[in-house]
Structure 1
Amino acid sequence: MTEQHLPASQLALLPIAAFTATGDLERLDPALRRGLDTGLDISQLREVLVQLYAYAGFPRSLNALGVLMKIVTERRQQGIEDAPGHAPVAPIPTGTDLLAAGTANQTRLAGAPVTGPLFDFAPAIDLYLKTHLFGDIFSRDNLDWRSRELATVGALSALAGVEPQLQAHVRISMNVGLSAAQLRQAASVLAQAVDADSGRRTLQALERHLAPAP
């Protein structure tokens, strides 16, 4: 396998995230089973579904976690012992350290400090993004950042009307080490495993990112 190709386990995250975001539990079930079969452990899958509440909402995250719990129980009853994985090892910052850690994580992911008139208009959302999403969630080291970004791209690709956020996360994906070829592979998987629109949105976001500045 060359560096231009993503491993099967990371590719499996894309439909899992997409079906979680759209609430398609019927298609999520086999996607989660395939994820376990590719070698993803229970902790990694659980972490993806927890993270996605920040992009798809608590109801869909909770529903998806319920599906995963059912699958793990069924497989255990069938004698299939899926790897449990591990809880986060690094301590999660608290108090004022949480804002500092989240700001640092966000800056590293985005490639520069994130500011703008929207955050001046609604400073609460800026605080929540920095402390909770990028502080609490992205400080949890039981899932690497490349996998987190692939899951985010998968989720956003399946949702109409969030193209600016998908564009941002395609850029962030490349900031954390994913290549253009790997993201094209992700778009192809989304087109085949989810639907044509998901693949198209991802590919268009990538091509916009790669286009030379006017």
Structure 2
Amino acid sequence: MSKRTAAMYCKTGARAAALALGMLALAPGLAAENTRSQAVADTQPLVETLTPRQQAIPLIAAFMAGSDIPRLNAALHQGLDAGLSISEAKEVLVQLYAYVGFPRSLNALNELRAVVDERKRQGIQDAPGLEPSRAIPTGDQLLAVGKANQTRISGAPIAGPLFDFAPIINQFLQAHLFGDIFERDNLDWQSRELATVGALAATPGVEAQLRSHMRASMRVGLTAAQMRHLTQVLAERGDRDAARRAGEALTHTLEAASAG
């Protein structure tokens, strides 16, 4: 890490205060994984730590959730230095509007644009990355794809009193979150879950959703050791309260799994 980046991480930032969109994780493990990333994950050996690229993602997400622009700037530099493409960084910040709101997403995207421009002036050529490899379905087909993704990641069709009370929210989840967003295959689903966990860990009051996404992270192929590494990254370079919440969510998830 450069001296400039390290210095920026030392700056104090605003504490995360935004409430994430709670409905997005009331279903067990609101996360998804596209076919291409799943095929890749299935062939990968279990690993114990996050790569430098992966480490940057929850930091980017946590600082975005807390509207901590100076530290977000440093985390974006870190991610790009570690091999995160510009399109992958965009995807992280676009996806997180569903959890921390459009204003924070727009502000973060504007900061990414400024970072990319600054790096170009310095002669740094960052990988542009990819656009989605296929067209996103629309209409009834989109809803069907989203429902299938939701069921797949949750292990069963989602139902319950809340969705009986407000069925439209589940339709929005299926068509937009699981459809429009998670069908975009230019960011793998493990990265999407690392981003979601980072954002929720930085947001007080959404512990149930954070636990749900801890479970989802391991469903898409991340290991318990990697998620423990995520909590260490947050503690060392992010926010200790976020690290504590993430650690508690991981402990809860592992205890529930061992209990059967």
Q: TM-score, normalised by structure 1?
A: 0.97
Task: Let me know the Cα RMSD of the aligned residues.
Answer: 1.3
Residue by residue, what CA displacement relative to the aligned partner does 1:165-204 show, whole Å, maximum 9, x if unpaired?
1011000011101111111001111111111111111111
Q: Secondary structure of the equivalent of 2:153? A: helix
Comparing 130-139 with 114-123, greater Cα deviation is found at: 114-123
d(CA) in 2 for partners of 1:178, 1:115:
26
Aligned counterpart, 1:96 = 140
Q: Which amino acid aligns with 2:94?
A: V
The verdict on how the C-alpha distance between 1:199 and 1:210 changes in structure 2, with shifts beyond 3 A counting, is same
Contact residue 46 and residue 223 of structure 2 kept, 8 A: no
Mapping for residues 47-196 of structure 1, pairs under 5 Å: 47-196=91-240
Residue by residue, what CA displacement relative to the aligned partner does 1:40-65 show, whole Å, maximum 9, x if unpaired?
00000000000000000000000000
d(CA) in 2 for partners of 1:193, 1:105:
33
C-alpha displacement at 1:2, in angstroms?
A: 6.8
d(CA) in 1 for partners of 2:67, 2:166:
29
2:62 is the alignment partner of 1:9: no
- Between the two proteins, the alignment pairs up a number of residues equal to 214
Q: Which amino acid aligns with 1:77?
A: R
Q: Secondary structure of the equivalent of 1:12? A: helix
Runs of 4+ in 1 over 3 A off after TM superposition: none
d(CA) in 2 for partners of 1:56, 1:99:
23
Contact residue 110 and residue 175 of structure 1 kept, 8 A: no
Q: With a CA cutoff of 8 Å and minimum separation of 6, indicate the structure with the bigger relative contact order.
A: 2
Q: TM-score, normalised by structure 2?
A: 0.80
Q: Secondary structure of the equivalent of 2:259? A: coil
d(CA) in 2 for partners of 1:111, 1:198:
28
C-alpha displacement at 1:111, in angstroms?
A: 2.4
Aligned counterpart, 1:23 = 67
